[in-house]
Amino acid sequence: MAQAVAAREEQLDRWAVIWDWITTSDHKKIGLLYFWTSLAFFFVGGFLALGVRSQLVVPNSAMMSPEVYNQFFTMHALVMIFLALMPMSAAFFNFIIPLQIGARDVAFPRLNSFSYWVYLFGGLLLCSGFLFGAAPDIGWTGYTSLSSSQYTPGMSGDFYVMGLQVLGFSTVAAGLNFFVTIVNMRAPGMSLMRMPAFVWMSLVTFVLILLAFPALAIALFALMMDRNFDTVFFSAADGSVVMWQHLFWIFGHPEVYILILPAFGIISEVLPTFSRKPLFGYSFVVFSGITIAFLGFGVWVHHMFTVGMGPIPNMVFATTTMLIAIPTGVKILNWLATLWGGSIRLTTAMLFAVAFVGMFTIGGISGVMHAAVPIDYWQHDTYFIVAHLHYVLFGGTMFGLIAGIYYWFPKMFGRYMNEAMGKWHFWLTLIGFNLTFFPMHFLGVDGMPRRIYTYPSDFGWELWNLVATIGAYLLGFATLLLVINLIKSIRAGQAAPNDPWDARTLEWTTTSPPQKHNFDRTPQVRARDDFWDQKYNRTGEDAEAEGPEEHIHLPPGSYIPLLVAFGLMLLGAGIIFTLWLSVIGGIILTVGLFAWAFEPND
């Protein structure tokens, strides 16, 4: 009897915990939700990549049908970009930014929870195409006319359009929220030029999100109208097929900076900490980040050199594209100079950060190569492009994010990760990564087109394809090590103190993991790298760094963001299945928004 009661109470307790996670508006919990969800999607994307590599391991392979292969490479790109890399950055935005600027939460906690749920539902909507055998199969760029209803009738194109459209709401909402948070919620004394580099690069990312995502949203909206409501935006006869490419890349090029800038930020935290030196040329890092963002809007045509716009546009955009290498090169110099003469500790986070600099430089150089129009004509749509983009997105973004995981893990979970296993993970990743993607340069210059389903045996592509596939499996195995390390360290890692790395920024002043309200007293910032300054430069009464005790107010949780997110997803799903779903979704959305507006929030 007593046992039954105890079991029931435990069950109730479990429900309370689940309810707490569902309704949470705590930026740290939302950050963890983002973290685990994006890691799960990272594995989905990785699985799809292994499928692609397995199909290509030998010539004339018929392991999977061409239709399934098209779905695999399309979904691999969409899942990795929109469901793994960006949300993994969002996990760090959520968890780290409020701590680094000395705030208790983000500006709009419920909007933050809304962003997460839209991301989850939108991600599931996008992936649910597989359940219907109709996952998007048109490439992640979704070029018209291929994506028009004439050539891709049926649901697969709609999953692409509506999945991305719903996800866009999540991204823009998060962009608005964090922009306001960084501009408006900094601790007293933290002027813009005292902000940690990660916060700066994130701020630039949010500006890019706010200005670039609308172009994608409008492009998708127009494509949806074309596919489902008979408009002629992208029809070859009445409209313009190339218009889609313009809109897509006006979004798409800033998007690659949206993906890489947070990693730049993470690296700019990790390298100084483990070199025990301030970031070299902080203001150069900041302003080169801003320059990259600005120029990022003026280079989109370099994705379209072969469209045939003529020599003048091609030359102009080739020039702007080469220009953008300058601020990027400035950053690489800054990172190298940060290492110079520092007392370097080669932790796993540091190894990944250093490898980031090397791998990203390779990716950057191959990028400048096809900024030259004639060379791009040769390399366009070949595996050389695939090699380039994986060097910047995996060797760049993902290495940066993994460095972030090893660096902030003690803060997020209160324990160290296993360094020995971490080093195995690092070396296997580095070797597997280069085995996979370096040979693709050779395949590309040998003329192997990207997205090709299979290839004949007499082109001399067998060896490098075999090497790439072996590398991919090694990479997959290495990533398993990361997850094992994460789980083991959360269960039984060595307990970490507040400041395990002797670091420089405010997040390390609070407990590990941070208490619910982050800081007992609002930090008073007096210097860039304030925590370091506190530890080593201030003495006596100068060390009295914290503000007076204050009343701490935290907003309650709410289930309404979840409801609104669900309504939004149904609204999008209705376009794919039947418009009745849209009606139901619209009603839930409207009711939810009113409930949101009138919910007491104090």
What is the C-alpha to C-alpha distance for residues 276 and 339, in angstroms, rounded to an integer? 9
Judged by CB under 8 A, the residue of 50, 58, 225, 325 near other proteins is 225
Q: How many residues bind other proteins (CB under 8 A)?
A: 41
Among 197-205, 220-228, 301-309, 381-389, the segment contacting other proteins (CB under 8 A)? 220-228
Which one of 12, 18, 232, 495 is in contact with other proteins (CB under 8 A)? 232
Beta bridge partners of 578: none
DSSP three-state, residue 101: coil
Per CB under 8 A, 541 contacts other proteins: no
Residue of 415, 417, 403, 402 lying closest to 498 (CA atoms): 415
**Least separation in angstroms between CB 341 and other proteins:** 35
Q: How far is the CB of 103 from other proteins (least distance, A)?
A: 10
Closest contact distance (angstroms) between CB of 117 and other proteins is 19
Identity of the residue, 91 or 107, whose beta carbon is nearer to other proteins in the bound complex: 107
Residues 107-126 binding other proteins (CB under 8 A) are 107-108
By CB under 8 A, residue 233 contacts other proteins = yes
Cα(368)–Cα(387) distance, integer angstroms: 13
Q: Say whether 546 sits in a helix, a strand or coil.
A: strand
Cβ burial of 240 (10 Å; 0-12, 13-18, 19+) is middle
C-beta of 171 vs 273, nearer to other proteins: 171
Rounded (10°) angle between helices 462-492 and 27-56: 150
**Would you count residue 184 as binding other proteins (CB under 8 A)?**
yes
| 218 makes contact with other proteins (CB under 8 A) | yes
* Helix H or strand E segment including 473: helix 462-492
In 3D space, the residue among 87, 158, 165 whose CA is nearest the CA of residue 128 turns out to be 158
Interatomic CA distance for residues 183 and 192, integer angstroms: 8
Positions in 238-277 near other proteins (CB under 8 A): 238-240, 243, 247, 250
**Does position 588 bind other proteins by CB under 8 A?**
no
Residue 54 binding other proteins, by CB under 8 A = no
Distance of closest approach, residue 575 Cβ to other proteins, in angstroms: 15
Nearer to other proteins, 243 or 490 (CB): 243
Nearest to 402 by CA among 263, 206, 205: 263
Q: Is 313 in the site for other proteins (CB under 8 A)?
A: no
Q: Is 172 in the site for other proteins (CB under 8 A)?
A: yes
User: Is 175 or 557 the residue whose CB approaches other proteins more closely?
Assistant: 175
**CA 580 to CA 602: how far, in whole Å?**
37
353 within 8 A of 271, measured Cβ to Cβ: yes
Please identify, using beta-carbon distances, which residue of 239 and 476 lies nearer to other proteins.
239
Q: Specify whether the CB–CB gap between 412 and 33 falls below 8 A.
A: no
- Cα 315 from Cα 318, distance rounded (Å): 5
Residue 96 interacting with other proteins (CB under 8 A) = no
Q: How many Å apart are CA 368 and CA 353, to the nearest integer?
A: 22
Structure tokens at 297: 């809007």
Q: How far apart are CA 220 and CA 575, in angstroms?
A: 12
- Least gap, CB of 41 to other proteins (angstroms): 25
Nearer to other proteins, 179 or 433 (CB): 179
CA 119 vs. chain centroid, Å, equals 12
Cα separation, 176 vs 163, whole angstroms: 21
In angstroms, what is the minimal distance from the CB of 234 to other proteins? 10
How many Cα atoms within 13 Å fall on the side-chain side of residue 537?
11
Shortest distance, position 483 Cβ to other proteins, whole Å = 36
Pair 296, 257: CB distance under 8 Å: yes
| Least Cβ distance, residue 175 to other proteins (angstroms) | 8
Query: Among the candidate windows 40-48, 86-94, 185-193, 394-402, which touches other proteins by CB under 8 A?
Result: 185-193
Place of tokens 């100068």: 542
Residue 108: CB minimum distance to other proteins, A: 7
Among 56, 90, 135, 219, binds other proteins (CB under 8 A): 219
Q: Which range of residues in 2-10, 212-220, 353-361, 505-513 is near other proteins by CB under 8 A?
A: 212-220
Smallest separation, CB 49 to other proteins (Å)? 32
Alpha-carbon torsion, ordered 368, 371, 373, 374, to 10 deg: 20
> Any residues with CB less than 8 A from the CB of 382 and at least 6 apart, and which?
443, 444, 445, 447, 448, 449, 450
Which CB, 195 or 475, lies closer to other proteins? 195
Binding of other proteins by 161 (CB under 8 A): no
Examine residue 549 and tell whether it contacts other proteins (CB under 8 A): no
| 233 neighbors 239 (Cβ within 8 angstroms) | yes
| Contact call for residue 222 and other proteins (CB under 8 A) | yes
Q: Does 211 bind other proteins (CB under 8 A)?
A: yes
Q: Return the number of the residue (170 or 469) whose C-beta is nearest other proteins.
A: 170
Binding residue for other proteins, selected from 59, 139, 214, 278, defined by CB under 8 A: 214
Closer residue to other proteins (CB): 101 or 267: 101
Among 61, 231, 434, 454, binds other proteins (CB under 8 A): 231
Nearest to 299 by CA among 208, 174, 222: 208
> Smaller CB distance to other proteins: residue 180 or 483?
180
Contact between 560 and other proteins (CB under 8 A)?
no
Q: How far apart are CA 83 and CA 209, in angstroms?
A: 15
Q: Which residue has the tokens 């070199």?
A: 275
CB of 162 to other proteins, least distance (A): 17
Q: What gap in Å lies between CA 296 and CA 298, rounded to an integer?
A: 5
Compute the distance between CA of residue 169 and CA of residue 183 in angstroms, rounded to an integer: 21
- Gap between the Cα atoms of 580 and 584, Å rounded: 6
**Whose Cβ is closer to other proteins: residue 243's or residue 337's?**
243
Cβ at position 211, least distance to other proteins in Å: 5
Interface with other proteins (CB under 8 A): 107-108, 172, 175-177, 179-180, 183-186, 190, 210-215, 217-219, 221-222, 225, 229-233, 238-240, 243, 247, 250, 553, 555, 597, 601-602
